[in-house]
Chains A and B, each alone.
Chain A
Amino acid sequence: MIDMKQFKENVSSKIKHYHDEDKTEVAETPGMVNTQQSKAMAIGASICIKGDVTGDEDLVIQGHVEGSINLKGHNVTISKSAKVEANIEASQIIVEGELSGDMNGDEKVVIRETGNVRGNIIAPRVNLEDGAMFKGSIEMEPRQAHNNSNNKTSKKDEKNKDGIDLKLAQ
């Protein structure tokens, strides 16, 4: 038996979601967040997870996670309200809340102004916004080596313009 009333409600709600797809931060189904780039699964502010989180889609954490998060090839966002005690492996990791744990970002790690991180980072690019708190270490891979060597030659020409060289011990 099909409940037509229920069926009509489902269809109308799906049409509504289809029209709202371009808007950001629209919940499509419980636990889903629609971002500008892609849909991401969300762990809500009241949710507390203890254990290993794995999967094949982007994740937005608003609640509390303790354990490990492994989402290789996907993005993880730790929202302002989130408190995470876990090691994270992902493509891009964005921290707006509190994180205690190591981050391994294949693409980059971003710690926003409101972010507070204690742990170690391995990533080719790390962005630390003004006001962000970070204690730990950053393991960087060599990049822009060519640009750097170009900078070096230009810097060498400019050096020693200011100041008095008092001692040069060999």
Chain B
Amino acid sequence: MSNIADYSYTPITRIDHQVSWEAGFTMRSPILSDLLNSLSSEEYLEVLDIIPANQGVIDAFSGLNCKLHLPGCLAGLSEITTQKYDTPTKLHRAFTRLFGFYKRQRASLNVILLWDLPNYLEKPVMSALINYLSEHLHDSARLHFYIHTKHLIPASPGRYTIEPGGEVFSQNSDDKMVESPLYFQEALQTLMQPFMVKRSMLLSGGLQEYVLEQK
């Protein structure tokens, strides 16, 4: 028995990223978990999730009195470049088309889930996106996303879903790798005006989790 103890060790942190991205892995996402737990079931809420609709996200919000906007616009957003949309008006139109927030369908968003999209947008596009979303915010709006801390990241945004226990299942959707923008907190705050970082946490999978609030 003592022999086994001599040659065994317990890792200090659970190393989620050893599991292949292709197969996907489950990670704890404490900030998202706290965000979900903090939502009131009494108050009417509006939530925007940009990834393709999935049951996990629907279930996560199903106990609340809320409207879940699921425009499924992740692919469309990640394809927006300043080369294609070279003026603020063109960008605004593109966002309206993707989100479906036309005049009669204006939103007052309490929660926005961007997942790892910010890693894949050009900086001017990111600023324009936040600027666009700021027209549809509730006073208490919170913005949640992940920033990659590794130099190389998959070439396109990952797939995510919220599991019944509140953990997040993450799956790579691209075998190609590209360089990460490696955003620091200050850079993010500059890009994401009028939001400011409320809380940030480094996850064991190599993702930095953020939640931002309006100033």
Interface residues of A (CB under 8 A from B): 125-130, 132-145, 147-149, 151-152, 155-156, 159-169
**Given A127-B55, A141-B65, A155-B166: A163 in contact with B197 (beta carbons within 8 A):** no
Task: Indicate if the CB atoms of B198 and A169 lie closer than 8 Å.
Answer: yes
Give the dominant DSSP class at A's interface. mixed
B197 close to A167 (CB less than 8 A): yes
- Would you call B13 and A138 a contact (CB within 8 A)? no
Which of B3-11, B114-122, B171-179, B199-207 sits within the interface? Answer: B199-207
B155 within 8 A of A: no
**Assembled-state Cα–Cα distance A168/B100 (Å):** 34
Tell me which residues from 158 to 182 in chain B have a Cβ below 8 Å from any Cβ of chain A.
166
Interface flag for B28 (CB, 8 Å): yes
Q: Which residues between 91 and 126 of chain B lie within 8 Å of chain A, taking CB atoms?
A: 100
Q: A128-B54, A128-B58, A159-B33 are in contact. Are A134 and B70 (CB under 8 A)?
A: yes
Partner of B53, one of A134, A156, A161, A166: A134
Supposing A136-B70, A138-B58 touch, asked if A143 and B63 sit within 8 A by C-beta, the answer is yes
| Apart from the given pairs A134-B70, A138-B67, A145-B41, 18 other A-B contacts in the complex at a CB distance below 8 Å | A125-B62, A126-B58, A128-B54, A128-B58, A130-B54, A133-B52, A133-B72, A136-B71, A136-B100, A137-B70, A156-B37, A162-B30, A163-B201, A163-B202, A163-B209, A167-B185, A167-B199, A169-B197
B68 within 8 A of A: yes
CB <8 Å contact, B13 and A162: yes
Chain B proximity of A99: nearest CB distance (Å):
14
Establish whether residues A142 and B166, one from each chain, have CB atoms under 8 Å apart when the complex forms. no
